[in-house]
């Protein structure tokens, strides 16, 4: 017992300086939804829950070392649902460099601005298949220059396709006041094709509007699409709507949603969605930490 106590005390003493030097935050989001769609039975399912740890540590040269690890959560099984993010990086006056599995600037700057609803059956557009995150990536984000910011990335995972660089991602962003304009392209070297998108958005105290156009060259013939979305805030209530049209889909898709805050980190939503072939209602509950 004394030996165990000594070991525990030694570990605590060694960990104390590390805790003082590194800033780590445990975070997560538990999300569950209930769907009732045409031609389907009632379904209660997970709604992209996740848990992770992220933080930074001061480096000797004044820069910061960054780390982030995130796992999907399967609330149906009560288990981890697979890896989402695993990256380390360095940040300084020159900008930020990140390595590992991470969010792409393509997703951050051209997808998320129009993907505002909590319901997961809202309209999707061409280029979502370029993926929110990518593995084996080195990515650079520049500092902001008078509202302008740039990003670039490559992936290389030795997948046997004969290319040293599997994909690349180039993005640009300009923001002033409540306006933002972004453009991004992802190049797939093995098939010599690109997915390109542009987004414009406007945000005020109560109103948010955004629109996105995209072009996907990976299929036979270019696939184009567009999405528009908007929201209006009334205290703790948020009204949302989105509409999308995709060349690869037989009909347009749209959804309307009401979201209600229950606290700083909890909310519920109710949505009606129309996907052409099916329509229905979706409700959900979300708690962040």
* CATH code for position 106: 2.40.160.10
More confident residue, 73 or 38: 73
> What are 141-199's pLDDT values in tens digits?
999 999 999 999 999 985 666 678 999 999 999 999 999 999 999 999 988 999 999 99
Q: Is residue 285 included in any domain, yes or no?
A: no
Q: Is the pLDDT of residue 133 over 90?
A: no
Q: Is residue 4 part of a domain?
A: no
**Within a domain: residue 21?**
no
Does a structural domain hold residue 46?
A: no
What does the alpha-carbon distance between residue 201 and residue 142 come to, in Å, rounded to a whole number?
21
Cβ contact 141:105 at 8 Å? yes
Domain-embedded: residue 57 = yes
Both tokens of residue 239?
Answer: 């009204």
CB-hemisphere CA count at 13 Å for 61?
Answer: 7
Q: Examine residue 198 and state whether it is found in any structural domain, yes or no.
A: yes
The domain tally of the chain equals 1
Are residues 28 and 50 in contact, defined by beta-carbon separation less than 8 angstroms? Answer: yes
Residue pointed to by tokens 């902001």: 144
CA torsion 32→246→110→135, rounded to 10°?
70
Residue-range definition of the domain harbouring residue 62: 53-256
- Residue at 274 is within a domain: no
Residue 44 has pLDDT above 60, yes or no: yes
């Amino acid at each position: 017992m004394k030996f165990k106590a000594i070991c525990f005390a030694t570990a605590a003493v060694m960990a104390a300086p590390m805790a003082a030097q590194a800033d780590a935050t445990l975070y997560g989001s538990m999300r569950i939804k209930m769907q009732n769609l045409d031609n389907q039975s009632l379904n209660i399912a997970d709604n992209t829950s996740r848990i992770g740890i992220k933080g930074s540590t001061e480096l000797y040269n004044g820069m910061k070392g960054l780390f982030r690890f995130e796992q999907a959560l399967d609330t149906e099984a009560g288990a981890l649902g697979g890896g989402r993010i695993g990256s380390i990086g360095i940040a300084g006056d020159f900008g930020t460099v990140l390595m590992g599995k991470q969010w792409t600037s393509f997703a951050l700057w051209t997808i998320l601005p129009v993907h505002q609803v909590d319901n997961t059956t809202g309209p999707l557009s061409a280029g979502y298949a370029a993926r929110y995150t990518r593995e084996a990536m080195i990515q650079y984000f520049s500092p902001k220059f008078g509202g302008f910011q740039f990003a670039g990335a490559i992936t290389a995972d030795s997948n046997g396709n004969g290319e040293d660089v599997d994909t690349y991602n180039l993005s640009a962003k300009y923001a002033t006041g409540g306006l933002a304009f972004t453009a991004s392209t992802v190049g797939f070297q093995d098939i010599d094709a690109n997915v390109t998108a542009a987004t414009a958005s406007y945000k005020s105290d109560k109103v948010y509007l955004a629109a996105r156009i995209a072009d996907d060259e990976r299929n036979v013939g270019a696939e184009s699409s567009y999405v528009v979305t908007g929201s209006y805030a009334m205290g703790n209530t948020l009204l949302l709507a989105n509409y999308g049209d995709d060349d690869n889909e037989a009909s347009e898709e749209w959804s309307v949603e009401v979201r209600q805050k229950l606290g700083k980190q909890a909310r519920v939503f109710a949505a009606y969605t129309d996907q052409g072939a099916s329509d229905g209602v979706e409700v959900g509950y979300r708690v962040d930490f």
